[in-house]
Amino acid sequence: MLKILKYSFFDLIRSRWSIIYFLFYFVTGMVLLYLSNDVSKAIVSLMNITFILTPLIGTIFGVMNFYNSREFIELLLAQPIPRKRIFLGMFLGISLSLSLSLLLGMGLPFVIYGVFFSSSVSSLLMLLLSGIFLTCIFTALSFYIALINENRLKGFGMAILVWLFLAFIYDGIFLLSLLLLQEYPIEKFAIGMSLFNPIDLSRILIMLKLDISALMGYTGAVFNKFFGNNTGMLISISALATWTIVPVLLILKKSFKKDF
């Protein structure tokens, strides 16, 4: 598994798309720090970019890597290697390469700016942690979608649709539900709805860390009221970990039954 992980990792980390991904976050971080001259404001601005772009990149790379590695996967399956090691190694290779590009691209501008001498260093670490979670979650989801769809066009379209639903459509349905049920006690409903969207969970996590949850509206205020900062962050991290583990387990389960 480690050999497969190493191959997938170095294959992606050397690609020009990983370099472009790294440069985008690096340049964006430097520009935001230069314009705002404030670490907290730069983190909030970068958060809005990260929670849309990072899931999209994970989705695209997960689908493309699986379909482009189809012959390589078939070659490995012909060897006496357990299937779970093959697919788990490939998934970890993709996730680690994207996470490294994210960490370096987003972290270096703040290190150069002197974030360690600022009180916002913990907020930056939380943003990086959320970005890694989203990378792993959407890579796993797209990898699973590609695994269950032989047709490349169908698999790619379904993966993009999942990203589009969680990034935009889900929030619209959520807000509409809150509007229609505003006459009822819906605090627990709002919390439950938030747990079913990893992007919303990541946003809540950062807002609680920055102690500006009221700025994100009803859900952030509810989390802060019911759980407080520390408990709310622990619940959010646990939910994000669950969002990561479940798709990976689905990949491993499907890999045993998949006929190549």
| Residue 203: exposure state from Cβ atoms within 10 A (0-12, 13-18, ≥19) | buried
Mean pLDDT of 105-134: 87
Q: Please, what is the Cα angle at 34 between 215 and 201, to 5 degrees?
A: 30
What is the domain count for the chain?
1
pLDDT at position 228: 60
* CA–CA distances in Å: residue 200 to residues 180, 190, 196, 219: 20, 11, 8, 9
pLDDT at position 73: 83
Which comes out higher in pLDDT, residue 169 or 10?
169
Please check the confidence at residue 91 and state whether its pLDDT lies above 60: yes
pLDDT at position 114: 80
> Rounded mean pLDDT of the chain?
85
pLDDT at position 211: 61
Mean pLDDT of 238-256: 92
> Position of tokens 């290697």?
81
For residue 175, name the pLDDT band (cuts at 50, 70, 90).
confident
Report the distance separating Cα 200 and Cα 166, nearest Å.
9
Identify the weakest region by mean pLDDT among 56-70, 72-86, 187-201, 215-229: 215-229
Highest mean pLDDT among 61-65, 161-165, 197-201: 161-165
The one-letter amino acid code at 35 reads: L
CB 95 within 8 A of CB 5: no
For residue 202, name the pLDDT band (cuts at 50, 70, 90).
confident
Q: Which two tokens stand for residue 65?
A: 């890597």
Mean pLDDT of 50-55: 92
Q: What is the pLDDT of residues 72-89, one digit of tens each?
A: 888 888 888 888 888 898
Supply the range of the domain harboring residue 216: 2-257
Q: What is the pLDDT of residues 63-72, one digit of tens each?
A: 998 898 888 8
